[in-house]
Copies of this chain bind each other. A is one copy, B any other.
């Protein structure tokens, strides 16, 4: 590997001078500067960022810990974050926690060990307490991790309220909530969806129904459970899900059972990714503002990194939008 000293020798200057050219600070004659640049070019020199970071300089590395990357919602969020970070000269270390606490813990240690400048956490499993002990800047997506870690998310209550209201407006009376339900554990931001659902239905004197679907279930199992629900309960005429994929599954099942959507059954999803809008525009759903979420995650992280801002019990909430499609309105 060619090193700074090689460049210095080739250019006939000291290592310091080369360093100054690279980081361009201090006063350097134009002549020296070009000599150095030429030498770098000829040797195809790339500075060793490890050595550089060892001096206390930033690594320009950000760790991303997410529960999945194949889910279109996370894929789009990760892609957006990556893109923004790249523009700010940061690189991304991708950590797929896969709902495995041990893997998440190992990854966290790795990130610390690699001296990343910051960490963005989006896991939906119960948060590791270790996050609170890390000195790195951290922000969280839609999840409480520690008092000192700011949370960014969309307005789960408002979003779910929109969904429930839309179902009721499309004259559904027998409505099910499919997805994560709050089961004894501590209340997390996403649990607001269930709370809003209960509230809106109660406001309309309707009884809320639930089919709990945890994230660890395979798609086939979920499929079977939904099929079971719809096949044995002819009265169901409205379903809201906590993600669009479950909504898709529901629609597939309805088709298998020859249940007409939206005549017999109205369906509303949640997430509203570009993917769904492109390839399943018919689905009524609640769109989370992915670009805004990504931007806010990053700016909040940068405030900690660059301005040493620290947060206490801070929760940033962004509004969701209802996208009306053919699964609640026939056209």
Q: Mark A88-101, 1 if CB is under 8 A from B, else 0.
A: 00011111101000
CB-CB under 8 A for A47 and B135, given A82-B94, A93-B93, A279-B252: no
CA distance A110 to B47 in the complex (A): 9
Copies assembled: 2
| A53 interfacial contact with B, CB 8 Å | yes
CA distance A115 to B114 in the complex (A): 12
Looking at the assembled complex, report how far the CB atom of A55 sits from the nearest CB atom of chain B, in whole angstroms: 10
| A263 interfacial contact with B, CB 8 Å | no
CA distance A245 to B279 in the complex (A): 8
Q: Mark A104-146, 1 if CB is under 8 A from B, else 0.
A: 0011011011110000000000000000010100000000000
CA distance A96 to B83 in the complex (A): 8
* Contact across chains for A78 and B69 when beta carbons are under 8 A apart: yes
| A27 interfacial contact with B, CB 8 Å | no
Instruction: Select from chain B the residue with minimum beta-carbon distance to A47.
Output: B113
Interface centre among A47, A82, A91, A220 (most CB of B within 10 A): A91
Interface size range on A against B: 35 or more
Contact of A49 among B64, B91, B114, B220 (CB under 8 A): B114
CA distance A83 to B69 in the complex (A): 11
CA distance A106 to B91 in the complex (A): 11
CA distance A115 to B220 in the complex (A): 42
Instruction: Select from chain B the residue with minimum beta-carbon distance to A255.
Output: B282
By a CB distance below 8 angstroms, the chain B residues around A110 are: 49, 91
CA distance A68 to B93 in the complex (A): 16
| A249 interfacial contact with B, CB 8 Å | yes
Contact of A115 among B50, B91, B107 (CB under 8 A): B50
Q: Besides A44-B133, A61-B93, A69-B78, 10 other CB < 8 A contacts?
A: A48-B54, A64-B94, A70-B75, A70-B274, A82-B96, A93-B94, A94-B94, A219-B279, A245-B279, A248-B279
